[in-house]
Chains A and B, each alone.
Chain A
């Protein structure tokens, strides 16, 4: 804890902010890709303390927010079956499908259980041999290694009543998609810290080398974020795009090799559907052929529903950083954390939820 306090030290962070103001002279747009960064930025009030020429835009890094509505609808349909137990990370519970949510289904008697890890879901499968236990496998590289571990565990235990409904995403390909999107101008990225603990720094290097966009891997304390902004500002002003790591206390250049290995053992790259962004090439992962018996869609002979567009909701543009929640007609009126319409309002990490919670109404 004491170690962490240094990254929260108010005097130090204020000094850094002062330096940032002193040295910034160019209008720049920085995207924080990760939802936890979005929350941290709001929680600490950093946004209000930045010089006017630095604009922070929130990216598509909240795993719940980018999960397509069709996926939620499919999970809801499965939850209606007597022979199925749905297991899920907690913040998927409130995500609205077309007509319901898992929370509502649970209230109506569906067997939906919140777990902290897919390994807990495997245990539920062991304890309920007469039920099919479906784990809602969503998220980025942060959660994928434990999902891969659950697949390995199922193989070891020879369990045949566990499967995963997949909507797994990878971060670097998505960032490339954002750089290539002509409607979005991004001068630099704050890369997600948690994802980087797994994949390391190397996978982002193409951003600087291929596209000239600098990026900084950062932690989540105020000191981490302000320091990352300062580094980005310097690189942009000096026209020296690089990938910097200011989260070296947890992130190694090469990442966590055993986590990377287990991911590639179990999964292979595929295209992926993102809520509001459509399909992004090479931005998803799917089970390798030898694990198809653990793929819920194949096992149960179903396919994930097509996404229906939510009327009036601009989550797609918000996820791309094209618009802020304040530009959405539904924000804080029809769409609130109590009654979320778009996914960005559902998850604690969602941009709309952060804007609402931290008072940008």
Chain B
């Protein structure tokens, strides 16, 4: 089995073999082909959006995706959340020596495939190799560049009382799927990670309404933590209807076994849409027509209060506060 060695990161012959034999082969485009110390991008009309994210997931190949796919989806989705059209990506790899070259090839192919689906070009990259034990197989950093051409401003501070909160589908799929595949949990768990591109769905939403206030993907910390961020930024409270929040039965069961709350689990293919009440139905309708929004639901309302709390109305009629995730999600003893 051919593996990555420190020599692949030396900048010498093996590095070039890696660049030409894998990266160039799958990422090939005219900008990457410039092969200079920085890539020169053509002029764009509009506001430039930039975002960066690092991916350190374990396992690197999981049910529903891999570290390559997630490193493109995560960054493309972050651009889309600002109303930007994603254009370019940079990709930086930190590889632990010993990684099978075939695994790297699989990851690179996955990046290329997902980038193509998203309509973005990979314009520059970097590879570093570290000694065995100094990283966990492979870490990827992606920076995304996009352009905002619409005359809109979308941001976490824009939510207003009366606005409605929509989610595009079931929550906790990614976090639960990864948990079930980690360690020695021998669960028969079929739910896949929801890792996917959301830029087309966002495009549909923004073509439908000019009254979208907030778009946010509830990744780490889940729905509860992300809504807390929005409530705090907008100085409002958010009221959720527990019975409207879509959660797969299998995810709910796993969470009950482990003693974790699905509202705090990471998602990689979900978007929280906060939109004015008058446009909520047409936004919901267009979302449900998109494969990434088939299970979209209105789950709550923005209310006038500067306590910045997120309230959950339970099925029984009780109310509880959803706080931000504190620390790490740890399974309970019993």
Contact = CB atoms under 8 A, between A and B. Distances in A.
Interface of A: 1, 8, 10, 13-14, 17, 36, 42-49, 63-64, 89-94, 103, 114-116, 120, 123, 138-140, 142-143, 194, 222, 336-338, 347-349, 356-359, 361
B318 A359 contact: no
B228 to A, nearest CB: 12
Contacts of A338: 326-327
Interface stretch (B157-165, B204-212, B309-317): B309-317
Nearest to A338: B326
Nearest to A120: B184
Contact of B316 (A17, A36, A93, A114): A17
B323 interface: yes
A348 B330 contact: yes
Contact of A13 (B316, B326, B327): B316
A337 B326 contact: yes
Contacts of B253: 1
Contact of A43 (B314, B332, B333): B314
A333 to B, nearest CB: 14
Given A43-B320, A45-B314, A357-B323, A90 B330 contact: yes
Given A10-B315, A143-B333, A356 B323 contact: yes
B334 interface: yes
B315 A48 contact: no
B319 interface: yes
Contacts of A93: 330
B300 to A, nearest CB: 16
B259 interface: yes
B149 to A, nearest CB: 41
Contacts of A361: 321
Contacts of A357: 323, 326
Contact of B333 (A47, A94, A138, A356): A138
* Among A94, A142, A349, A358, residue most surrounded by chain B Cβ atoms (within 10 Å): A358
B333 A45 contact: no
B183 A116 contact: yes
The 8 residue pairs across chains A and B that have the minimum distance between CB atoms: A45-B318, A359-B321, A337-B326, A90-B330, A45-B314, A142-B334, A89-B333, A358-B320
Given A91-B330, A222-B316, 20 more contacts: A10-B243, A10-B315, A36-B259, A43-B320, A44-B318, A45-B316, A48-B319, A49-B317, A64-B333, A89-B333, A90-B333, A114-B183, A116-B183, A140-B334, A338-B327, A348-B259, A349-B332, A356-B323, A359-B320, A359-B322
A137 to B, nearest CB: 11
A40 B320 CA distance: 12
A356 B319 CA distance: 14
B46 interface: no
Nearest to B252: A1
B316 A14 contact: yes
A182 to B, nearest CB: 30
B249 interface: yes
B119 interface: no
Contacts of B331: 89-91, 114, 116
A10 B316 contact: yes
A226 to B, nearest CB: 9
Nearest to A13: B316
6 contacts: A43-B314, A44-B318, A47-B318, A143-B333, A143-B334, A349-B259
A109 to B, nearest CB: 12
A198 B286 CA distance: 52
Interface in B162-193: 183-185
Contact of B319 (A45, A116, A142, A194): A45
Contacts of B321: 358-359, 361
Given A10-B315, A348-B259, A45 B334 contact: no
Nearest to A192: B334
A149 to B, nearest CB: 15
Contacts of A139: 333-334
